[in-house]
Amino acid sequence: MRGFRNLSYFVFVIIFLLHFGVWCNGDTESTMAAPMEKNEINALYSTIQGFVGKWWNGSDLYPDPCGWTPIQGVSCDLFDGFWYVTDLNIGPIHDNSLSCAPNVEFNPNLYTLKHLKSLSFFNCFVSPRHHPTSISTESWEFLASSLESLEFRSNSGLIGQIPSTFGRLIKLQSLVLVENGLYGEMPRNLGNLVNLQRLSLAGNKLNGEIPDTFGGFTQLLICDLSRNSLSGVLPKALFGGLVSLLKLDLSYNKLQGKIPEEISRLKNLTLLDLSNNKLSGGLTKSLQEMTCLEELVLSNNPMGGFLEILDWQNMRKLTTLDLSNMNLTGGIPGSIADLKKLRFLGLNDNKLTGQIPKSLENLPNASAIYLYGNNLTGELQFSEWFYGKMGRRFGVWGNKNVCYPFGLVSTRNVPFGVKICQQELNFIIDLDETKSKLDHGNFVIQDSNSSMGYLSYDNGIWRSLIVELFIVFLLPLN
């Protein structure tokens, strides 16, 4: 260690000399040996003991917690010639990091770490039954002048409300409270955190409405409030303010009402996920102005209205468009085929009618197109190459008036769950009937109009057709 230290010192001095042509007398050496205030060491030790357990005596940090032998999870920086803790990460992130005690608690000394910039807890409060803990509401304001990142992740035993005192941490750029047991309403005064760039409260049991004060996050890039029990309508004020936003995920809540027209003010948004809510009132026309959108996921909402109401070709950056199970009516607009970047298209489980545009075949990167469970009609016009490429990821089953033309598609590539067009079947059966008669075969058509085509025969080439009909009609029933 000593040798390495001297070497780096030597290299530093050489570089310094080259740059400034002066002899520097050992500043780096004294930097490395910089002291840490007694108060700071004590505060750090007792804070860690509060989370890790009283048995922990800091021997891992010997001889000093910020110098040559820091432990995982603690980082420091120099202020006025003294070391101060800047980052504290509690929880099993690395093999040798600090793991939490079963009876973990917030030690008030935490708030005396006056240069703390980043504080995170991962998998630390994990006993919801035996030791449920709420976040202390006290004293957070003492960290207001330094704390930039606060994170509680995967703490099932962390319950209660988000303390409104978090609203005093005005330097916060990142507030991440993900996968905990937090409940209650989100404090309105979180809206004071005007420097926030990331707000993620996903995977808790938060309820109540989204406060309109959240429109104050003018620097916010990522907002994820998904997987809670938030209710009420989407506040219009939200969309006036979040001008920088790139990702908005409010999925898996109980939000209702119409998506406000104001949503299109989020000009830079690339991801909008409002799926699995109770949104209604039809698709909002102004969505088509959100030309940066790459992922639009609105599935599983009783939205209603027409799919064709939007000029889809405006949203050329879309790679994911999921509008499944939204009670949508009308036809599938051909303009969707202009979204050349599309990889995933989900329009299944709606009430869509009309023909399926053949142009969907021209989506070069489409890896899944789901149209099943609608009321689409007509003969599929796609090429056999397309059916072969897509397999079951071209999902058209459950549209009882859709069929594919026989003869153009080999058995191997027929679209899954789709029947052969009736006219063609009749035509071929007629042909074959004639042929059978000529051949003195035994071919009987019991009901040529039935889509099930009750055929019985002992003619070899038809056997594969029967097998195919069974596959097509009986498998999807399971």
- Binding interface with ligand NAG (CB under 6 A): 57, 59, 243-244, 268, 302, 304, 327, 329, 340-341, 351, 353, 364-365, 375, 377, 447-449
**Are 90 and 52 within 8 A, CB to CB?**
yes
- Minimum distance from CB of 246 to ligand NAG (Å)? 9
Q: Report the nearest approach of ligand NAG to the CB of residue 48 (Å).
A: 13
In DSSP terms, which residues pair with 133 in a beta bridge? 158
Q: Nearer Cβ to ligand NAG, position 25 or 449?
A: 449
The token pair that represents 9 in the structure block: 């010192």
From the CB of 337, what's the least distance to ligand NAG, in Å? 12
Tell the smallest beta-carbon distance from residue 201 to ligand NAG (Å): 22
Q: In a 3-state reduction of DSSP, which class is residue 13?
A: helix
- Please state the closest distance from residue 192 (CB atom) to ligand NAG, in A: 20
Token pair 């789901």 is at which residue? 370
- Distance CA(120)–CA(187), nearest Å, equals 20
Q: Give residues with Cβ within 8 angstroms of 262, minimum separation 6.
A: 236, 239, 240, 286
**Residue with smaller CB distance to ligand NAG, 123 or 218:** 218
Q: Is 251 helix (H, G, I), strand (E, B) or coil?
A: coil
Can you name the residues that pair with 221 across neighbouring β-strands?
none
Amino acid identity for residue 416 in this structure: F
DSSP per-residue letters across 162-192: PPGGGGG-TT-SEEEEEEEEEEEEPPGGGGG
b/e burial code for range 173-208 (CB count within 10 A of at least 16 → b): bbbbbbbbbbbeebbeebbbbebbbbbbbbbbebbe
Between strands 329-330 and 295-297, the pairing is unpaired
For ligand NAG, the closer of residues 131 and 351 by Cβ is 351
Residue 399 tokens read as 């549209």
Shortest distance, position 58 Cβ to ligand NAG, whole Å: 7
59 or 478: CB nearest ligand NAG: 59
Q: How far is the CB of 280 from ligand NAG (least distance, A)?
A: 7
Shortest distance (Å) from residue 133 CB to ligand NAG: 24
Cβ at position 444, least distance to ligand NAG in Å: 12
Nearest CB to ligand NAG, comparing residues 164 and 268: 268
Q: Which is nearer to ligand NAG, 13 or 221 (CB)?
A: 221
Q: Which of 108, 44, 105 is nearest to 76 (CA)?
A: 44
CB nearer ligand NAG, residue 362 or residue 411: 362
Indicate the burial class of 437 (C-beta count within 10 angstroms; 0-12, 13-18, 19 or more): exposed
Look up tokens 């490429």; give the residue: 389
Q: What are the DSSP calls for 322-359, one per residue?
A: E--SS--EE---GGGGG-TT--EEE--SSEEEEPPPGG
365 vs 411 by CB, closer to ligand NAG:
365
**DSSP states along 269-327:** --EEE--SSEE-SS--GGGGG-TT-SEEE--SS---SBGGGS-GGG-TT-SEEE--SS-
Shortest Å, Cβ 123 to ligand NAG:
22
Closer Cβ to ligand NAG, 185 or 289, answer by number: 289
Q: Which is nearer to ligand NAG, 87 or 262 (CB)?
A: 262
How far apart are CB 342 and ligand NAG at their closest, in Å? 8
Integer Cα distance of 177 and 204 in angstroms: 8
Judged by CB, which is closer to ligand NAG: 351, or 389? 351
